[in-house]
Structures are given as C-alpha cells and as structure tokens.
Amino acid sequence: MTNHWVDIKNADVVLIMGGNAAEAHPCGFKWVIEAKQHNKAKLVVVDPRFTRSAAMSDYYAPIRAGSDIAFLGGVINYLLSHDKIQHEYVKTYTNASFIVGEDYRFEDGIFSGYDEAKRRYDPKSWGYELDEKGFAKVDPTLQHPRCVLNVMKAHYARYTPEQVSRITGTPKDKFLKVCEMIAETARPDRVMTIMYALGWTQHSYGSQMIRTGAIVQLLLGNIGLPGGGMNALRGHSNIQGLTDLGLLSTSLTGYMSLARDSEQDLETYYKPRATKPLRPGQTSFWQNYPKFFVSQQKAWWGKAATAENDWAFHYLPKWDKAYDVLQTFEMMSQGKLNGYICQGFNPVGSFPNKKKIVAGLSRLKFLAIIDPLNTETAEFWKNHGEHHDVKSEEIQTTVFRFPSTCFAEEDGSLTNSGRWLQWHWKGAEPPGEAMGDAEIVAELFTRMKAAYVKEGGAFPDPIVNLTWPYLQPTRPSAEELAKEYNGKALADLPDPKDPTKLLAKAGEQLSGFGLLRDDGSTSSGCWIYAGAWTQAGNQMARRDNADPWGIGQTLNWAWAWPANRRVLYNTASCDPSGRPWNARRKLVGWTGDKWAGSDVPDIRPDANPGDADAVRPFIMTGEGVARLFAPSGMVDGPLPEHYEPFESPLAANPLHPGNARAKSNPAARVFKGDQEAFGAAKDFPYVATSYRLTEHFHYWTKNVRTSAVLQPQQFVEIGEELAKEKGIANGDWVKVTSNRGFIKAVAVVTKRIASLDVDGRRVHTVGLPNHWGFVGVAKPGYLVNTLTPFVGDANTQTPEFKSFTVNIERA
Ligand SMILES: Nc1nc2c(c(=O)[nH]1)N[C@H]1C(S)=C(S)[C@@H](COP(=O)(O)OP(=O)(O)OC[C@H]3O[C@@H](n4cnc5c(=O)[nH]c(N)nc54)[C@H](O)[C@@H]3O)O[C@H]1N2
Ligand SMILES: Nc1nc2c(c(=O)[nH]1)N[C@H]1C(S)=C(S)[C@@H](COP(=O)(O)OP(=O)(O)OC[C@H]3O[C@@H](n4cnc5c(=O)[nH]c(N)nc54)[C@H](O)[C@@H]3O)O[C@H]1N2
Ligand SMILES: [Mo]
C-alpha cells in the first residue's frame, strides 16, 4: 500500500477492482464503511462476480476476467479526452512533460526492441531523450509530440468506450458511469483510493494491470494524498514482510536485488542500481544503494565482509534466471532437483497444474515439510481415491515432516499491508514436539555449518563465515532477529556536519536508515526496517492510538517503514508551493523553513519547494516524478497494453486481430510442455476464475471443524444463462474440465455471475472457490489447481489463476 488501512476512511471514492475486500479482508473493510458513513464516500466495485463487496457498493459494473487493462485504458482515454485530469499535479509530479527518445515505437501490439525468438524486450528504445549532462529533456508546455503525455494520449486513443465494451463485456453505459464517478476526483479537494489484490496480480500481465490503475490515480492527482493511493491488499498476515525481507529468488532485503551473472564485480553491480538523478537537483533513495548494501553485508558476514573483499560481494549467488516457484517446479519435473524444503507452503494445493506439481515432487529424492499441519503436499504420494488418484508404489521420494509452531505460538512482528510492523506476543505454548520455524532453520544451519567446517567443500566461506550472534545458536529469539534487521553502529559514528558530535556510539542500535554508511561502520539486515528497534527499544510494540489530527495518522501505534512514514510520497499532497491541496485533510506542508504535519515528510525536511530545482516528491525514481510512461523497470512495455489471457474464449486480441504474436503477453515466459497443455476455445469455451470465501483460509481451515461446518461442501458457481444452456440445476453435481484435468463439485446457480457480450459472442464465467482438498477433517474435495494453467505474470511470475478456460457439464 502507498497508504494504510485506516487512511481509507479519508477517501471520497473507493474503487475496489481486482479484489473482494468484504470477503478476503473483512476487518480492513470496515474502513470502507467508515468512509461511506462519515465521508459520504461512494464505493465502486468492478468484478466478474457480484461479490460481497459489490453488495455494499453504490455502483457495480461486471467485467470479463482478464480484461482490466482494456477497462482502465478506457478510463485513461476518458480522463484525457474529457479534460478530467489534475493539471498542476500531472505537470509537476509526473513525467508527462518528459521527452521519449525518437526510437520508441509501438506497432501492431508490440513495443520496439522485441526479440521474438527469446520472447524478450530490449528496453533501450524506451528511454528519455537526454541532454549533454545526462538529464532527461522536458517540455513544460506539453506540446512536444514525443512528450510522455502525448505519447500516452495516442496510445490510449484506441481505447474508446465501444472498444472497451467489446473487449471487457462491460455494458458501455456502465463503463461510462464508472468513468464519471472516478473523474469526480480530478478536483484537488477530492480523492479516490484504489483497493486491489489478486484479481489484478494473478494474470500474465498482472503488473501492468496495477500500473494502469496507478496511471489513472496519477492523472487524477490521487497519489500521496490522504484517502488516495494504490493500495494492494496483502494476503497472509506477514506476506508484506516476506517481500520486504527479500525472500524472492532475485531479491535482497529492502528491495535491493541480487546481482545477475553478468555483474561479477561490485562496480558493475552498483551501476544500474545506485541511480543517478535524471533531473537537476533531484535526490533519490537509491543514490544511497551502496550504504544499504554494505550494511546488509555487514549484518550477514560481520568481520568477514571487508573493503578488501568488496564486502563479501562474491559470497552472494549471481542469477542467470529467476528461480521463482514455476521455474523451480519446471526444473523439478525435468529431474534437475534432488531435494526440496517446503516451509509453510502447500504447492500441491496452491500452485497451478497439480499434475505437473505432483510429477515434479515424484522425481525428488527427498522432500522436507516444515508445517504445523498435515498438508496435501506432505501426502502427495498417497492415493486418496477420486480426489487424488496416484500410484504410490511408483513414487520413491522420501518425505520428512518437521512439525512447526504457528504464528500464535511465537513472539515476533508481522508487517501488514500498510507497511506497519506490529509486534505480537505468544498466545499459547506449542503442542507436542513442535518447534519454532527459526529453531528448525537454526538447527539445520548449525549442522550444515559443522559439516562444512569439518569437510570443507567447493565454497564453504559464505556458510562458515555467516554471523550467527545469538545467545543460544539453535534458539535465535525474535528480539535478537528484530534488532539485527534494524542494525547497529559498528564504530562511533561522528556527525559529518560537526565531527565533535556523535550520531551513535559503537554498539548502539541505529535510529534510522539515514545513519547507514558504506564504509563498514554500520550494519543493518534490512535497511527499510532501520528504526524498528532503536536504542529507545522496540518501536513495533508501541500501542498509543492517539490521532491528534483526526485523520487516522496514529504515528505512535506500531512502526511503519520507511522511517515511520504512513503515506508514501506524502509531499505530493501539497501543491508545488508546499500548501496542502485540501486543507481539511492535511498530511504535511511547507512551513517556510521545513516540512511538517501529521506524517513523517517523504522528502528532506528542509527541501524548499520554492527552489529553482526543487526536489520532487517521488524520490524512489531518478526523475523525482512519478512515471506515467516507464522508461525502465518493466519487462513487457513502458505503457500497459491489453492482451488476452493465455487461455481465452477469443480467437484474437480485438485490438490487434491481424497479429497473432500480440494475442497474449509477448514477453511472458512459457515453458514448452505448458504451451501444449493450454486448451483451445472450441473445447473449453468458458472463462474460469478462482477465489476465496470468508469462512475458509486457503487449505488450513479444513482442519477446523467449525469452518468445515460453515462451508461444508465444495461448490462451483455459474450464472443462470449458462445453467439453462447446459441443463444444470442448482444443487446438481457438475464436472469442470480444463486441458489439464477435471474436478467435480456441486453447482450453485446464481444471478451474481452475469453472462457478457464480448467481441460479438456471449461469454459465460465459471466461478471456482479455492478451499477444498483431500487432507483435513472437512468433507474431501478436488483441488481447484488441477485445472489452472502453468504460466505467470511476465514481471513477477505470479500464476494466471484468475482467467483461464474450462468446460462444464452435468456429472
Ligand atoms: N477468508 C479468507 N481471507 C483471505 C484468504 C483466504 O484464504 N480466506 N487469503 C488471503 C490471501 S493469501 C490473499 S492473497 C488475499 C486475496 O484477496 P482477494 O484478491 O480479494 O481475493 P480473491 O477472492 O482471490 O479474488 C478477489 C476477486 O477478484 C475477482 N476477479 C477475478 N478475476 C478478475 C479480473 O480479471 N478482474 C477483476 N476486476 N476482478 C477479478 C474475483 O471474482 C474475486 O471477487 O486474501 C487474503 N484473505
Ligand atoms: N487457483 C488459485 N490458486 C491460488 C490462489 C488463487 O487465488 N487461486 N492464490 C494464491 C495465493 S495469493 C497464495 S498466498 C497461495 C497460498 O499458498 P500456500 O503458501 O501454499 O498457502 P497456505 O495453504 O496458506 O499455507 C501453507 C502452509 O503454511 C502453514 N503454516 C501456517 N503457519 C505457519 C507457521 O508459522 N510456520 C510454518 N512453517 N508453517 C505455517 C499452513 O499450515 C499451511 O499448510 O495460494 C495461491 N494459489
Ligand atoms: Mo496470497
């Protein structure tokens, strides 16, 4: 989230699109109700299904799953052609005036730089035109034909209301009504928040869907303002913490990235990361990359990380490709993996194409499961009759099971969607021989280290030199780990402005990332978490909910990264002179000599907005402004474009009917066998989408009798029109088939799923709740991921769970 949960109450318009907060985030949804009740906010929901969120809305519009870029591209076109943009914001705080280089092209659905054989773009031609000093050229009059605003105008002119309706199936009048409601917030004193989750992320172009939403918000001037923002509703209680701490295969902590194999020395590694400013006078977070990186290396390798060995840079692996979950299971199915450690993860249930996942696990020598519960993955080898029909005698994988505690049996912090680190305390002792996750990992590590010390090995250094500063080496405590993430001074830190003063003494916890250095005198396991556990103690455990400004800015409740800032880019909540756009809801403002207000300013506190080359609010970019057009950072194009899901009921992309290459995302990675496992529209004519129910949490609550009673039986949802066409009555057993397998369940026939007119044909949707499987106390059912395709988003590799195709018939 750019903003946070409580802040949603400040919105004038709430757009829930690509999520179903009332169902999947029922506690957080109360802030939408607050906004409606106390702020007269209008709730707009766009979803293929009339959801529980839709039931609370002021306006609902249906949409064909997978077509949100067409919808939002149409909104962009509407805003630009009806002059419903926040002009001053767009001009000063976005790259609207930046000039795109003359080699940039977009033709027939493909951007310049495409290599068809590799399915990859070279983004060189998407860059800005630079001047002699390396700064981007701009045209403040917005007249230049290649300035971003005009490039964008031309790109989205194709997304007319008729075209949008043809692609999305959303009736034109409903689309235009949503545009009108959204456009209301182009005024400086009106804001919209966008709440989204998997309905946007789980597509082969999910990242671009989110970008389209962000572009809409920027044109309206809604980013950085209270009640505004792009708000990703995160899933598991600490999934925000997972990405913050760099658990993805090409990440390091705090959104730093692991080096590629072409970056074998520190200098080459820093070059693209420690970004140079693209505007005169601009400062950017990433200019400090070496300070964050060296401090991480010192936290990990202590004295073994020295200036002479480039801070142990060569201890880190270099990536030839991302080892995301799809890649890993692809390699497993090719027999390239011996073992797999599966900690708090149930891939047989949660990853696509169950047949392929099980085939992969069957080729392992060993599988280690660290989980408080029994799971489908732990029993992948066992025949469970019709729900999981495998030949156990042909599977040789040894499965080890390590019973772990769950979060309620441990102390620690959880980072919520709003980036708040909230400390929690153990609620109960774990049962039986269950051990904490950190203890299990620590046991594994100490034994591995002992083996490396004794036997050597190809490259023992990163293991034997790893710092392991815990009082009990096999029992690292949550407190010790948290202090390590925060970081400390390894030497006295004199104030560079006044060397007689110390900013921190050797050994002290650091108060924030501003103190980090690149000379080895500081350590921090995760720079964005610096400030969470300072000399003053555990900031995450703070529980003062005082809200002096009355807009939900409880700065003494828990601690938010970065620097306890609650709303990112918050200086964009002011006009270019530093005055809040809306005096009623003030985050920060320029007082004449500093920035101050109800939030921690997201800028140098003394950055005078009146200066000729004033620092601009989007300090994560070298431009200092937000990117409507992304010259870098995306693998599949600088502007979002609509493509069809890999399985679609349509024969072509209606925007590019003559170009088969532009039907689906040309830069998405598709493994060979998976291409062949995609189904054709003639055999699988219906759009399928999968989702959650309030009463269950993934596959765990099958182990809870009360949850099993509340939603006792697996079902699939279809609209009345499709039911009639197929002769299916409410309560009938049906069989749903994709090209990868089938499931059987009870049909719920409902008015809540509309059939839509898409590109001249009638398109029906089959809704698939996720939560059943073959382990637990609930009535067994089929895993929905028997049906789903093995392909992911081009940027993140998040699987395309939200739009694929199936057939359905009475069983
Ligand atoms: N009770 C409960 N709560 C949960 C969970 C749970 O299992 N149970 N899981 C948690 C986790 S891990 C996560 S990540 C979050 C997920 O939270 P959400 O993303 O809100 O959950 P989903 O139900 O998967 O999907 C949301 C909606 O997306 C819609 N949708 C599908 N395709 C499209 C599309 O192409 N466009 C649009 N506009 N909408 C589409 C679906 O119809 C559905 O209503 O929930 C968390 N909360
Ligand atoms: N078709 C379809 N598939 C989906 C989705 C979808 O919308 N549609 N959503 C996807 C999403 S968003 C997600 S997040 C994934 C979730 O997929 P998984 O990550 O596989 O999720 P869970 O089943 O929630 O959790 C896995 C295991 O974690 C265990 N666990 C709980 N607490 C602890 C703990 O403290 N320590 C340890 N070691 N284990 C613990 C649980 O018992 C459970 O067995 O599913 C994805 N799969
Ligand atoms: Mo999730």
User: pLDDT for 367-382, tens place per residue?
Assistant: 999 999 999 999 999 9
Distance, CA of 450 to CA of 320 (rounded, Å): 30
Residues 293, 211 share a domain: no
Q: What DSSP character marks residue 592? A: S
Residues with CB under 6 A from ligand 2: 198, 202, 235-236, 343-346, 349-350, 370-373, 375, 404-407, 437, 690, 698-700, 770, 784-785, 788, 801
Residue 322 structure tokens: 């991302």
Q: Point out the domain boundary residue: 518, 540, 562.
A: 540
249's tokens: 């295969």
The 10 Å CB-count burial string (b at 16+, else e) for 315-354 is bbeebeebebbbbbbbebbeeebeebebebbbbbbbbbbb
Domain shared by 362 and 394, yes or no? yes
Q: Is the CB of 698 under 6 A from ligand 1?
A: yes
Rounded-to-integer distance, Cα 112 and Cα 777, Å: 54
Q: Is the CB of 49 under 6 A from ligand 1?
A: yes
3-state helix, strand, coil in the chain (%, to 5): 30, 20, 50
What is the 364 CA–ligand 3 centroid distance (Å)?
Answer: 26
Going by CA atoms, what residue is nearest to atom 4 of ligand 2? 350
* Residue of the CA atom closest to atom 47 of ligand 2: 350
Please name every residue paired with 626 in a beta bridge, in sequence order, or none if there are none. Answer: 94
From residue 629, alpha-carbon distances to 68, 98, 160, 507, 659 in Å are: 18, 9, 20, 45, 24
Tell me which ligand sits closest to the C-alpha of residue 233. Answer: 1
Q: Could you tell me where the beta strands, DSSP code E, fall in 487-572?
A: 488-489, 493-495, 498-504, 522-523, 533-534, 537-538, 559-560
CB atoms within 10 A of CB 397: 16
- Cβ atoms < 10 Å from Cβ of 413: 23
Of 350, 402, 738, 796, the residue with max ligand 2 atoms within 8 A of its CB, to mutate for a pocket test, comes to 350
Distance 414 CA to ligand 3 centre (A): 15
Ligand 3 centroid to Cα of residue 771, in Å, is 13
Q: Which of 346, 743, 766 to mutate to test the pocket of ligand 2 (most atoms within 8 A of CB)?
A: 346
Determine the structural domain holding residue 482 and report its residue range.
259-313+477-540
Strand partners, 719: 750
Instruction: Name every residue whose Cβ is closer than 8 Å to that of residue 406 and which is 6 or more positions away in sequence.
Output: 372
Q: Which residues contact 583 (CB under 8 A, 6 or more apart)?
A: none
The residue type found at 27 is C
Of the CA atoms within 13 Å of residue 269, those in its CB half-sphere come to 21
Distance 800 CA to ligand 1 centre (A): 13
**209 Cα: distance to centroid of ligand 3 (angstroms):** 17
Structure tokens at 443: 């046991």
SS3 383: coil
Q: Please indicate whether residue 254, judged by its CB atom, sits closer than 6 Å to ligand 1.
A: no
Q: Are 349 and 440 part of one and the same domain?
A: yes
Which is the closest atom of ligand 1 to the Cα of 698? 7
Q: Is the torsion defined by CA of 459, 460, 461, 463 positive or negative?
A: positive
End-to-end CA distance of the chain: 44
Whether residue 740 is found in the same domain as residue 797: yes
User: Can you read off the two tokens belonging to residue 538?
Assistant: 């555990």
Render the burial of 132-141: b for 16+ CB within 10 Å, e for the rest: eeebbbbbee
CATH number at residue 185: 3.40.228.10
**How many whole angstroms separate alpha carbon 717 and alpha carbon 730?**
9
d(CA 582, CA 570): 13
Claim to verify: residue 85 and residue 209 sit in the same structural domain = yes
Q: Given the DSSP bridges, would you call strands 192-196 and 230-232 parallel, antiparallel or unpaired?
A: parallel
Cβ of 51 less than 6 Å from ligand 1:
yes
Q: Separation of 91 CA from ligand 1 center, angstroms?
A: 35
Q: Which ligand is nearest to the CA of 198?
A: 1
Q: Which residues contact 790 (CB under 8 A, 6 or more apart)?
A: 326, 329, 330, 352, 353, 356, 671, 674, 677, 799
* 450, part of any domain: yes
Question: If you take atom 12 of ligand 1, which residue's CA is the nearest one?
Answer: 235
- For residues 509 and 430, membership in a common domain is answered with no
The residue whose C-alpha atom lies closest to atom 11 belonging to ligand 1 is 235
Q: Which listed ligand is nearest to 236 at the C-alpha? A: 1
> Do 75 and 215 lie in a common domain?
yes
| 336 Rama sector, left if φ>0, alpha if ψ -120 to 50, beta otherwise | alpha
How far, in Å, is the centroid of ligand 1 from the Cα of 721?
24
* 274 Cα: distance to centroid of ligand 2 (angstroms): 35
Cα→Cα distances 761→70, 168, 518, 558, 746, Å: 17, 12, 61, 52, 27
Residue 443 lies in a domain: yes
Ligand 1 mutation target, pool 198, 243, 805, most atoms within 8 A of CB: 198
Q: Is 46 in the pocket of ligand 1 (CB under 6 A)?
A: yes
**Whats the size of the chain, residue-wise?**
811
Q: Domain count of the chain?
A: 4
Kindly state if the Cβ of 19 falls inside 6 Å of ligand 1. Answer: yes
Query: Which of ligand 2's atoms lies nearest the C-alpha of 346?
Result: 20
Query: Can you tell me the distance from the alpha carbon of 40 to that of 42, in angstroms, rounded to the nearest whole number?
Result: 7
CA 20 – ligand 1 centroid, Å: 6
Q: Indicate whether 151 and 266 sit together in one domain.
A: no
| Closest ligand to Cα 346 | 2
Task: Measure 626 CA to ligand 1 centroid, in angstroms.
Answer: 28
Which residue minimizes the CA distance to atom 40 of ligand 2? Answer: 344
Within this chain, do residues 284 and 176 fall inside the same structural domain, yes or no? no
Neighbours of 81 (CB within 10 A): 12
Which residue, judged by its Cα, is nearest atom 26 of ligand 2? Answer: 345
Residues facing residue 560 across a β-bridge: 420
Residue 152: name the closest of 110, 109, 190, 106 by CA.
Answer: 106
Q: Which atom of ligand 2 is nearest to the CA of 440?
A: 38
Region of 430 on the Ramachandran plot (φ > 0 left; ψ -120 to 50 alpha; else beta): beta
Residue nearest to atom 29 of ligand 1 (CA): 199
Which tokens belong to 612? 């000729």
Distance of CA 41 to CAs 12, 36, 582, Å? 4, 4, 16
- Which ligand number lies closest to the CA of residue 15? 1
Residue spans of the chain under pLDDT 70: none
Q: Which ligand is nearest the CA of 343, by number?
A: 2
Q: Are strands 339-343 and 366-371 parallel, antiparallel or unpaired?
A: parallel
Q: What pLDDT score was predicted for residue 568? A: 98
18 with 115, same domain: the answer is yes
Residue 562: is the preceding peptide bond cis (ω within 30°)?
Answer: yes
H-helix segments, 635-761: 672-677, 705-710, 720-726
Tell me, in angstroms, the distance from the centre of ligand 2 to residue 325's CA.
Answer: 13
Ligand 2 pocket test: pick from 348, 698, 801 the residue with the most ligand atoms within 8 Å of its Cβ. Answer: 698
* Interval between CA 793 and ligand 2 midpoint (Å): 19
CA 25 – ligand 1 centroid, Å = 9
Nearest ligand 2 atom to the CA of 692 is 7
User: Exposure string (b/e) for 55-80, b if CB count within 10 Å is 16 or more?
Assistant: ebbebbbbbbbbbbbbbbbbbbbbbb
- Assess whether the C-beta atom of 24 lies below 6 angstroms from ligand 1: yes
Handedness of CA 194, 200, 205, 207 (dihedral sign): positive
Distances (CA, A) of 194 to 67, 213, 214, 234: 17, 8, 9, 14
Structure tokens at 33: 């109700």
**Confidence (pLDDT) at 283:** 85
Q: What is the CA radius of gyration of the chain?
A: 27
Q: Answer yes or no: is 245 within a domain.
A: no
Domain ends where: 540, 561, 585? 540
Return the structure tokens found at 271.
Answer: 């070059």
Gap between the Cα atoms of 146 and 387, Å rounded: 57
Q: Contact at 8 Å (CB) between 791 and 204? A: yes
Residues near 432 by beta carbon (within 8 Å), at least 6 away in sequence = 403
Tell me if 190 is assigned to some domain.
yes
pLDDT at position 632, please? 94
Residue 792 covered by a domain: yes
Contact between residue 348 and residue 354 where contact means Cβ atoms under 8 Å apart:
yes
How far is it, in rounded angstroms, from Cα 718 to Cα 432?
44
- CATH number, domain containing residue 440: 3.40.50.740
Q: What are phi and psi of 299, to 5 degrees?
A: -65, -35
In a domain, 610, yes or no: no
Task: Tell me if 696 CB under 6 Å of ligand 1.
Answer: yes
Ligand 1, atom 31: nearest CA belongs to which residue? Answer: 199
Ligand 1 midpoint to CA 76 (Å): 25
Instruction: With beta carbons less than 8 A apart as the criterion, state whether 230 and 2 touch.
Output: yes
Residue nearest to atom 41 of ligand 2 (CA): 344
Domain assignment present for 242? no
Q: How far is the CA of 350 from the centre of ligand 2 (A)?
A: 7
Residue with tokens 């400062």: 283
Which residue spans within 158-315 are E strands per DSSP? 192-196, 230-232
Q: Is the domain of 407 the same as that of 359? A: yes
The distance of Cα 672 from the centroid of its chain, to the nearest Å, equals 27
171 and 98 in one domain? yes
Question: For 246-272, what is each residue's pLDDT tens digit?
Answer: 999 999 999 999 999 999 999 999 999
In the reported structure, the alpha carbon of residue 25 is separated from the centroid of ligand 3 by a whole-number distance in angstroms of 12
Strand duo 398-403 + 588-590: pairing: unpaired
Q: What is the pLDDT of residue 275?
A: 78
CA of 694 to the centre of ligand 1 (A): 10
Cα–Cα distance measured from residue 288 to residue 414, given in angstroms and rounded to the nearest whole number = 27
| Last residue of one domain, picked from the residues 438, 462, 486 | 462
Say if 181 falls within a structural domain: yes
Ligand 2, atom 35, residue with closest C-alpha: 406
Residue nearest to atom 21 of ligand 2 (CA): 345
For residues 276, 102, 87, 189, the Cα torsion angle rounded to the nearest 10 degrees is -50
